[in-house]
Structure 1
Amino acid sequence: MLNALQTRILAVVAFLVAVAALSSAVWWFGYQSALDQLEQRGRSDLALASDRLTGELSRYRELAVLMADHPVVAAAVDGRGAGAADLLRETADKTGSLDILVVSRNGGEVASASGTGAEAHGTTPYFDRAMDGALGIYHLVHDRYGQRTFLFAAPVFSAEGPVAGAVIVVVNVDAVEAVWRGARPTVFFTDDLGVTFISNRSELVFMARDPRAALRGDTAEYAQGVLRPFITYEARDQRGHSVWSVQGQRYVPQRALHLSLPLPVIQMTGEALLDVAPARLLARLQAGVAAAICLAFGAMLFLATERRRTLAEANARLETAVEARTAELSRTNADLRHEVSERIATEAQLKKAQADLVQAGKLSALGQMSAGISHELNQPLMAIRSYAENAEAFLDRGKADVAGQNLGRIADLARRMGRIIRNLRAFAKQESEGMTDVDLSGVITAVLEITQTRAKTSGVDILWTPPATPLIVRGGEVRLQQVVLNLVSNAMDAMEGQDAAQRIELDAAMVDGRVELYVRDTGPGLDEPDRIFDPFYSTKQVSQDGMGLGLSISYGLVQSFGGMIRGRNHPAGGAVFTVTLDAAERAEAAA
């Protein structure tokens, strides 16, 4: 028991160590991937900030070149221009320049926009480069203006060709820098001395990596005491990324990715510090997710193992109980099978009884119509006999044409009797023919032929006007006759014995793409319209011998056609039954 417990503990410890190692690996690779993405985004931001600075300074560089070609400036260099100061002042106001100077060949100021006095430029690097015929660029903390400046010196060529002087455009760095001060990420621009001259973090300005290198040649770029020690940082190389750990800076990230971009156009280097906290957070989240997944999988595996062991022990205990219960369950199963067999036999008997009741209902309906059917068959038989005797007499007299007419009438009566017998036989046997296109008018006419004698005997007027256009529906002709016969017979039964006029109205019409048949009587109406289609529900008197199956059978037949049958009371009295059937889609049927 103790050995098993020790084994499980060692397995858990080994698993936790493996999870810790995997999480560390995930953190490292996630951190490196995040640094790659951060560097890519940071280089884009640094390039954008550098382009913004160089673009802003380019306006003043182009201004210096354009002013060098101005005739008033050329005249001022030669000592002939009296209105140069006004031109320079107006141009400085319009362009936002701090100052614009015109300098002669010997380095003395000829005119300026500020008019603050004469300054010697003869020994400055930017003036020397202008005298060489090129554009001079320089930056410094100018004592004359008391702030950081950029100087662009453009040569002014004489008419003979040599350089006669220079135009110097002085740019206020504070005005250029104010547009993007405080933006992210931290960006600063350093010169070749390592001094931060421009930055979107004001606390980084004038910080120098080596303050002792503040002098260059004979001209100081920075006034005495301006430079400050650079930020305290520790740089670490992480697979090609330079990550700084910065100390003592409030607005600079404590841990940042350092990027640099040379800018030879303005003789500076753009640098950026990007906060790596989001990258570290992302790496920690990835490592945490990996650890959580491993721990969850390990926990499920451990629980599954423990559950399997517990189930194995429980299985051994259950086997005995199962064996004890098997015999008892076998006996119970035998009893259940016997009960199921009895229920199946009972269900079969019930279905047979229902079928017998349906057939009995049909035969009952035939019995009710037997008197009318006998009259319907007897009347044509008597007429056939009469026409046959007349035809014989006419033949003896040589009147073959008149005899032929009588024989034609005999044929019509025979067809009528055959149709009546065929409908009765189909009704009695309940033939199950497939769905076909049926002429509803022909079905109604056939039913009225069967019920004609009973209607006359009972004094019932049947009103039916066939529509001008045949109404072709989907269904079975014999089964549809059975439905219409049930409705007409029920209507006669409902009106039997009443003193008021007995009338049955039949109508059929096309409504919303379907055919609707209406059967209305003038009887007492329906007592319970919601129950009329229930099996064995009947409101007939005992003497009328009704089983309550006619409407139930009709409901099932109409449902089998995909149609619908409804019954309701008419506002003027009596009951109305509506049979809705699908219209046939064949074009020739409509014709």
Structure 2
Amino acid sequence: MQRIWVIVGFLFAVGLLSAAVWSYGYRQAVSQLSEKAEADLELAADRLSTQMQVYQELAVLMANHPTLRGIETPQHRQDAEKVLLDVADKTAAVNMMYLDLNGQILASAQPVAQRSMAGHPAFERALQGAMGSARGVQPLSGARIYTYAAPTFGPEGQVEGALMVVADVQDVEQTWRGSTEAIFFVDTDGVVFISNRSDLLFWHRAGGQPGLMPPDDQAVEFASSWVGGYELWTLNWGRYLPRHALHHTLDLPVIGMTAEVLVDVAPARRLAGLQAATVAAICLAFGALLFLATERRRTLAEANTVLESRVAKRTRDLTVANSALRREVAERQEAEAALKQAQADLVQAGKLSALGQMSAGISHELNQPLMAIRQFADNGTAFMTRGQGEKAGENLGRISEMASRMARIIKNLRAFARNESEPAGRVDLVHILNTAVELTEARMREEGASLDWDPPANPVYVWGGEVRLVQVFVNLINNALDAMEDRSRRQVTIALSGQTRLRVSVRDTGPGIADPDRVFEPFYTTKSVGSSDGMGLGLSISYGLVQSFGGDIRGSNTADGAEFTVELDPFEKEDAA
């Protein structure tokens, strides 16, 4: 029972809150509509005043036209009527008339039924020397017209007559008729004389009361109320007028009218209703969630006890499993570290193996410059003894060249033999290939092998490590020399090509590859058993080094030997970033 009263009280509170939100939202929306209504009303009033002012200024400007003076003869009258007709056609005026002091029409742009305008309010005002204006309805056509009368003055400043301009109100309405809001202008008699809703024309306001009455004084539905300082009308005056409207007025003393506007408040009511419904929905959803949470709290409290016991048991199991997992991770880390060290040792062993194969040629490359240096030194001493300093200088220059050559060979050997620990980066592939050629040049010369290698003039940068790439190409050149031991024609060809990926091919004239699919497997070799030339790890090491740089290496047979192709990615700034 208590739970039911709580629910009823909550629903009542939600209803009160929704009503308050609706009222506040409706007032705010009506306030915004009021600002828009005032702007629309001022804009429509400015349009009407500006358009009517055109005819007012036309009457003033044409009042003293030379053609209108001294209209005594029929010829003068025809000339005046021609001028008035031309001006009326250009300004869309209904008619233009020139009157004498007695109100007789002396000249007019269009024919008129009556020849005298005596007693016309606008004319009577013009006789007093001021601008006169009046509105009315033409008897025959029923058109609504607005009339301006400007006095004409003689040489001594006396009034001699008046120029009357008649404007059709319907033509003025065409520029703003059909706008969204209902706008109408009420004259001093309380009659709707101008409107963008033709249904309201000639409706009138009785006794200064709010609202309007139709011309036949038939009773219509109407009610007026105030919301937040704004006047609201409730009416049923046709399908082109809102059912509930915000009413605003604006006095226009210049033309003797009051501008009024009716703005539909249905959007404000819908917005306020949407806001109230949103608040109610949020409150109801929150209440429902709160109710469900309260109901579930008891159930969860009961389940919590069972869950805690299960969690404690599971925690003990996870603690045991976690300890075992940590031991396994530590063992795997130790094994990974040992594997990395073994791989590094294997790479270094490959380097030393290549150095062992090249040792005889390198010794010859170093011994030959040493012997030449000794000979040039003896020659230089002899030339110095004889006083031939120029020839002695030539020998010293030869000694310097030989020393530079030996330094370059030793530098390449030291770089090749060291363990490279720097990360991969930008390296010059042309320099790497030239270094590999220089390291194996002695062996190729000793074994009578020729080299076909035309290095590019400019550097070619790739992604990799300098020492490790040198080792790859040294291994490939040494393997090519090993394969051509029993061949009469021994030639190593190195070619560099490619754009998206750079390709370096090392080709020999040996017997080819017996099993291309297994050539990169560890310990796979085609050399004789017991040979000291290697254990079949060179290509496997090269394969791992190239793969570590994101490249690829493959072997294939050609028409006269074997070919190994190394593909590497070109170095770009985006890759470095």
Q: TM-score category by the smaller chain?
A: 0.7 to 0.9
Query: What residue identity is the alignment partner of 1:521?
Result: D
Query: Residue 245 of structure 2 contacts residue 264 of structure 2 at CA under 8 Å; is this kept in 1?
Result: yes
Cα distance change of structure 1 residues 145 and 405 upon mapping to structure 2, 3 Å threshold: closer
Counterparts of 1:214-225 in structure 2 under 5 Å?
A: none
> What CA deviation, in whole Å up to 9, does each residue of 1:143-168 have, x standing for no partner?
36543222222223344433233333
Counterparts of 1:113-152 in structure 2 under 5 Å?
A: 113-118=109-114, 121-143=117-139, 146-152=142-148
Q: CA deviation at 1:264?
A: 1.6
Equivalence for 1:549: 537
Equivalence for 2:96: 100
Counterparts of 1:281-360 in structure 2 under 5 Å?
A: 281-303=270-292, 309-337=298-326, 339-340=328-329, 342-344=331-333, 346-347=335-336, 350-351=339-340, 353-355=342-344, 357-360=346-349
Q: CA deviation at 1:210?
A: 2.0
Whole-Å separation in 1 of the counterparts to 2:325 and 2:500: 54
Work out which of the residue numbers 239, 251, 254 in structure 1 matches 2:243. Answer: 254
Whole-Å separation in 1 of the counterparts to 2:311 and 2:419: 56
Query: What residue identity is the alignment partner of 2:129?
Result: G
Equivalence for 2:186: 190
Cα distance change of structure 1 residues 164 and 406 upon mapping to structure 2, 3 Å threshold: closer
Whole-Å separation in 2 of the counterparts to 1:205 and 1:107: 31
Cα distance change of structure 1 residues 72 and 484 upon mapping to structure 2, 3 Å threshold: closer
Query: Residue 563 of structure 1 contacts residue 582 of structure 1 at CA under 8 Å; is this kept in 2?
Result: no
Cα distance change of structure 1 residues 160 and 548 upon mapping to structure 2, 3 Å threshold: same
Work out which of the residue numbers 519, 526, 529 in structure 2 matches 1:540. Answer: 526
Cα distance change of structure 1 residues 321 and 105 upon mapping to structure 2, 3 Å threshold: same
Query: What residue identity is the alignment partner of 1:266?
Result: I
Query: Residue 28 of structure 1 contacts residue 283 of structure 1 at CA under 8 Å; is this kept in 2?
Result: yes
Q: CA deviation at 1:56?
A: 2.7
Cα distance change of structure 1 residues 399 and 520 upon mapping to structure 2, 3 Å threshold: farther
Greater shift in the superposed pair: 276-285 or 300-309: 300-309
Provide the TM-score with structure 1 as the length reference.
0.74
Match of 1:269, SS state, is strand
Cα distance change of structure 1 residues 206 and 442 upon mapping to structure 2, 3 Å threshold: closer
Whole-Å separation in 2 of the counterparts to 1:111 and 1:415: 122
Whole-Å separation in 2 of the counterparts to 1:99 and 1:157: 21
Whole-Å separation in 1 of the counterparts to 2:263 and 2:563: 90
Whole-Å separation in 1 of the counterparts to 2:291 and 2:117: 84
Query: What residue identity is the alignment partner of 1:262?
Result: D
Query: What residue identity is the alignment partner of 1:257?
Result: L
Cα distance change of structure 1 residues 345 and 207 upon mapping to structure 2, 3 Å threshold: closer
Asked whether 1:522 is paired with 2:509, we answer yes
Query: What residue identity is the alignment partner of 1:170?
Result: V
Cα distance change of structure 1 residues 546 and 45 upon mapping to structure 2, 3 Å threshold: same
Counterparts of 1:426-465 in structure 2 under 5 Å?
A: 430=419, 432=421, 451=440, 454-455=443-444, 458-463=447-452
Q: CA deviation at 1:191?
A: 0.9
Identity of aligned residues (%): 47
Query: What residue identity is the alignment partner of 2:206?
Result: D
Match of 2:19, SS state, is helix
Cα distance change of structure 1 residues 445 and 96 upon mapping to structure 2, 3 Å threshold: closer
Whole-Å separation in 2 of the counterparts to 1:538 and 1:206: 112
Query: What residue identity is the alignment partner of 2:130?
Result: A
Work out which of the residue numbers 61, 81, 89 in structure 1 matches 2:56. Answer: 61
Match of 1:75, SS state, is coil
Equivalence for 1:588: none
> What CA deviation, in whole Å up to 9, does each residue of 1:363-383 have, x standing for no partner?
5545555666677788899x6
Q: CA deviation at 1:244?
A: 0.8
Q: CA deviation at 1:341?
A: 5.2
Provide the TM-score with structure 2 as the length reference.
0.76
Query: Residue 513 of structure 2 contacts residue 557 of structure 2 at CA under 8 Å; is this kept in 1?
Result: no
Whole-Å separation in 2 of the counterparts to 1:174 and 1:166: 25
Query: Residue 512 of structure 2 contacts residue 558 of structure 2 at CA under 8 Å; is this kept in 1?
Result: no
Cα distance change of structure 1 residues 158 and 424 upon mapping to structure 2, 3 Å threshold: closer
Query: Residue 45 of structure 2 contacts residue 259 of structure 2 at CA under 8 Å; is this kept in 1?
Result: yes
> What CA deviation, in whole Å up to 9, does each residue of 1:543-577 have, x standing for no partner?
466444323434555677x6956456586653154
Q: CA deviation at 1:189?
A: 1.1
Work out which of the residue numbers 492, 497, 501 in structure 1 matches 2:486. Answer: 497
Q: CA deviation at 1:207?
A: 1.0
Query: What residue identity is the alignment partner of 2:25?
Result: G
Query: Residue 222 of structure 2 contacts residue 234 of structure 2 at CA under 8 Å; is this kept in 1?
Result: yes
> What CA deviation, in whole Å up to 9, does each residue of 1:383-426 have, x standing for no partner?
69x979x97xx99xx99999999999999999988987887677
CA RMSD of aligned residues (A): 5.1
* Length, aligned pairs only: 558
Q: CA deviation at 1:256?
A: 1.0
